[in-house]
Every structure is written in structure tokens, then in C-alpha cells.
Amino acid sequence: MAAPKIFITRPIPETVLIQIQAECDVDMWHTSAILPPIAEKIPPLDGLMTYGHEPVTAEMFDTSPNLKVVSVVGVGYDHVDEDAARERGITLGHTPGVLSDTTADMTWALLLAAARNVVPAYNHVQVEKQWHYYDPNILWGYDVHHSTIGIVGMGRIGYAVAKRALAFDMKVLYYKRNRRQDWEEELGIEYTDLDHLLKVSDFVTLHVPLTEETTHMIGKVEFELMKPTAILVNIARGPVVDHGALYDALRDGQIAGAALDVTEPEPINTDHPLLDLNNLIIAPHLGSATIQTRMKMATMAMENLFAGLKDERLPYGVVQPPEL
Ligand code: NAP
């Protein structure tokens, strides 16, 4: 029997690639600099592994009669048409959990950097070479310890962010649609509605999946509720925040600062006005980007891929085979 045909949309770690190559006929897109031509590659495939966020659409599925499985290297799968996959009996897998602590660490890296002016300090000393004398009156930031953090979309990653907040003696508020009283008891955190969270939080971090409901969840009205000293961290998906409203809020001092790991579009256009603001930090979607975690994600994605090719239940499945 011929080996199943697989397309991987970006280079994955070699050790995992070798294992996939042992069982499959692998075509792996060679670069991150040019977008993978998924529509062109998909027709003969049995399996697709997406390592990136290019859309995988119903129209693409319709050109690919043998496709059994889409395996996402990542937890967010908003770029794949889940309903269209289900309707066609195509399984869909992702890599939840394994990246939660790593993404929570990056949330804190961004939050602390924004609160304590780490990027302006770097620019001052190393880029502009302006550190000629000690000046006690530059680059004052905001205290993180004993402040209030509001976690929007408290699931796996939000929970890991909350645990870290406790070490900073922070008051932790959270908002999601379904309250978790067990977590409230375990961590001593408080559930609140979104408006109240935005009004009282010194730091607001976003961890919702991108859905119709969460698209532009944070916009003009929400920024108006926030404190002028507040800092927003978006490490969820770019479109969760209305970037026009964010620009206005940062420019007009409606909030003090923001840090984004994700943007709309991605990458953000190099002439986007947000890039000219000095109270904003943007990272190029690094939430899960550590050596250890990317290895684990690739391994989980491989396990989903192999299961899907055998019509078996995916170990980390979003859409399972219809009969299971
Ligand atoms: P998760 O465990 O599913 O948590 C998501 C949380 O969001 C859930 O608790 C859910 O609770 C809540 N939620 C969903 N819709 C909501 C809504 N309309 N309003 C309020 N809360 C809502 O997912 P996770 O593993 O923590 O990952 C979260 C997201 O982070 C992913 O989907 C992905 O897009 C993003 N992410 C980004 C990076 C990065 O590199 N920047 C890395 C990993 C993940 P309820 O259902 O009770 O509302």
C-alpha cells in the first residue's frame, strides 16, 4: 500500500519529521518567509499538518477527496473551518495543555516588560546609547505586585497566568462564560463580569479563543471602561482586539500601555500606525515558542496525524472520526 501523502506547512523539528517520514510520503514547505501554498498542495493529500495560521477552508476540502485529518501544531484552530471538516468526516486535532505554562510565561514577560519599561530601557542604553549619567527621574513604570489583574478567558492558559499572579501578591479577577468555583476556591480568585473587570483591573490579559463572539471583544467601549493607568496584554488572537480602537486608546492616554503577541493581520503591516507608538510592545507570535514546548507540540501533532490517518480517535482531537 502506498504511504499516505502529507503536507506540512512549515519546517518542524527534525526528530519529529524523521518519525513522520518513516510512515508517510512527506512534502514539507521549506521556509517561513513564503506562505505555504495550501490550496495548491491539498488535492492529493491524506493528511495536512498546519504549523502556522493560514486559513484551511471548505473550498480546499472540496478539492481533496482523500483527506482524512488536519493536524494543527498549536492549540488555537480558528484558521481551520471546523464545521466544514466535521461535515466531510475529516478529523481535526490540536495540541492543548502542553503549551499553557509556556504561553503563561510569555504573558508575564510581556506584562512585566510593559509595566517596567524594559523595551524603552533597552532602546535608551543599547540602541540610542543615551545612558550618560544616572537619572532617577526617567522610565518610571507601574507596580505589578499588589495590583489587580483581570484575566479574560480563563481556561488552561488563563489558569496558569492566575497561578503566577499569586506570587506577585496580586488580586486576581477573571471572566469567562462558565464560572469555575473550584478554581476560585483553589486559588482565591474572584469571578466578575467583563465590564467590572475592565473598570478595576491594573492589568488585563486576554486568553479567549478567536470566535465570532470574541472578535473585537475589546474595542472602543471597553477601552473607555479601563483605567488610564491600565496595561492590556493580548496573547490570544489579534482580532480579539479592535486595533483602530487600541490605537486611539494608546494615543489618547485612555490606557497606559499594551503588549501584543498577536496582531490583525499577522504579521502586522510595517506601516501600521500602531508601530509608531512608544507605549506598545509587539512580539511576533512567540507565546509557545520555546525549544522544549515546540518539540512537545510537534510530537502531539504527529500523534494526531497518525491516528487520523488510521481512522482512529485522535488523542488530542477537536473533530473525531464520525463513528467514534
Ligand atoms: P481554553 O483552555 O479553551 O481556554 C479558553 C477560555 O476562554 C475558556 O475558559 C472559555 O471559557 C473562555 N471563552 C471562550 N469563549 C469566550 C467568550 N465568548 N467570552 C469569555 N470567555 C470565553 O484555551 P487555552 O488553551 O487557554 O488557549 C486560549 C487561546 O490562546 C487559544 O485558543 C489560542 O488562540 C491562544 N493561544 C495563543 C498562543 C500564542 O502563541 N500567542 C499560544 C497558545 C494559545 P467559557 O467557555 O466558560 O467561556
DSSP-assigned letters across all residues of 216-274: T-BSHHHHHHS-TT-EEEE-S-GGGB-HHHHHHHHHTTSSSEEEES--SSSSPPTT-GG
In what helix (H) or strand (E) does residue 159 lie, and over which residues does it extend? helix 156-167
Percent of the chain with pLDDT over 70: 100
In what helix (H) or strand (E) does residue 111 lie, and over which residues does it extend? helix 100-115
Residue 213: exposure state from Cβ atoms within 10 A (0-12, 13-18, ≥19): exposed
Q: Whose CA is nearest to atom 39 of ligand 1?
A: 287
Any atom of ligand 1 within 6 Å of the Cβ of 263:
no
Grid cell 476540502 is found at: 61
Please give the Cα distance from 324 to 317 (Å, whole number): 12
Any atom of ligand 1 within 6 Å of the Cβ of 52:
no
The residues carrying an active-site annotation are 237, 266, 285
pLDDT at 55: 98
Residue 324: exposure state from Cβ atoms within 10 A (0-12, 13-18, ≥19): exposed
pLDDT in tens, 59-113: 999 999 999 999 999 999 999 999 999 999 999 999 999 999 999 999 999 999 9
pLDDT in tens, 286-303: 999 999 999 999 999 999
Please say if the pLDDT value at position 322 is more than 90: no
Nearest to 78 by CA among 53, 49, 51: 53
pLDDT in tens, 193-232: 999 999 999 999 999 999 999 999 999 999 999 999 999 9
Question: Of 50, 72, 75, which is best to mutate to test ligand 1, by the most ligand atoms within 8 angstroms of its C-beta?
Answer: 75
What number of residues does the chain have?
Answer: 324
Q: How far is the CA of 173 from the centre of ligand 1 (A)?
A: 16
Q: How far is the CA of 295 from the centre of ligand 1 (A)?
A: 22
pLDDT in tens, 120-136: 999 999 999 999 999 99
pLDDT at 296: 98
pLDDT at 324: 56
Q: How far is the CA of 66 from the centre of ligand 1 (A)?
A: 31
Please give the Cα distance from 49 to 298 (Å, whole number): 10
- Looking at the CA of residue 178, tell me the nearest atom of ligand 1: 47
Before 136, cis peptide (omega within 30)? no
Percent of the chain with pLDDT over 90: 99
Any atom of ligand 1 within 6 Å of the Cβ of 73:
no
Phi, psi of 291, deg, nearest 5:
-60, -45
pLDDT at 231: 99
Nearest to 8 by CA among 228, 32, 22, 258: 32
Please give the Cα distance from 10 to 143 (Å, whole number): 40
The whole-number average pLDDT for the span 279-288 is 98
pLDDT at 252: 98
The whole-number average pLDDT for the span 240-249 is 98
Any atom of ligand 1 within 6 Å of the Cβ of 207:
yes
Helix (H, G, I), strand (E, B) or coil at 202: coil
pLDDT at 127: 98
